[in-house]
Amino acid sequence: MTTQPKYFTADTYDYARYAEWIAFGSLVHSSQREVRNAYPDLVSKAAIVWQEKYHKFVKMEAHPQWGGKAKRLNKLMRELGEGKVETIEIFQDRLADEVLRTKGAATTAQEQYTHARTEAMKAKATADGTAFINNHKLLSKTHIAGAELAHTGWDDDAVKAVANQLEQELCDEPLSSEQFELLVSRLREKTIRMEHQMLPEEAELLRKPKDKEYQRAYILYGFFKLHLEVGETKAMSDSVIRKETPFGPTAFYKAVKLLEDLGLIEHTEEGQRGSLIRQANIYKRLV
84 pLDDT exceeds 80? yes
50 pLDDT exceeds 50? yes
119 pLDDT exceeds 70? yes
Burial class (CB within 10 angstroms; exposed 0-12, middle 13-18, buried 19+) of 159: buried
The pLDDT confidence band at residue 275, using thresholds 50, 70 and 90, is: very low
- Give the pLDDT mean for 40-49: 91
The pLDDT confidence band at residue 105, using thresholds 50, 70 and 90, is: low
109 pLDDT exceeds 90? no
Q: Where is average pLDDT lowest: 5-14, 144-153, 189-198, 239-248?
A: 5-14
- Give the pLDDT mean for 43-70: 91
**Average pLDDT of the chain to the nearest whole number:** 88
**Tell me: the pLDDT tens digits for 209-225?**
778 899 999 999 999 99
Q: Which of 214, 223, 217, 222 is nearest to 198 (CA)?
A: 222
Parallel/antiparallel/unpaired status of strands 265-269 and 281-285: antiparallel
CA 102 – CA 99 distance, rounded (Å): 6
- Give the pLDDT mean for 85-102: 89
- Give the pLDDT mean for 267-271: 85
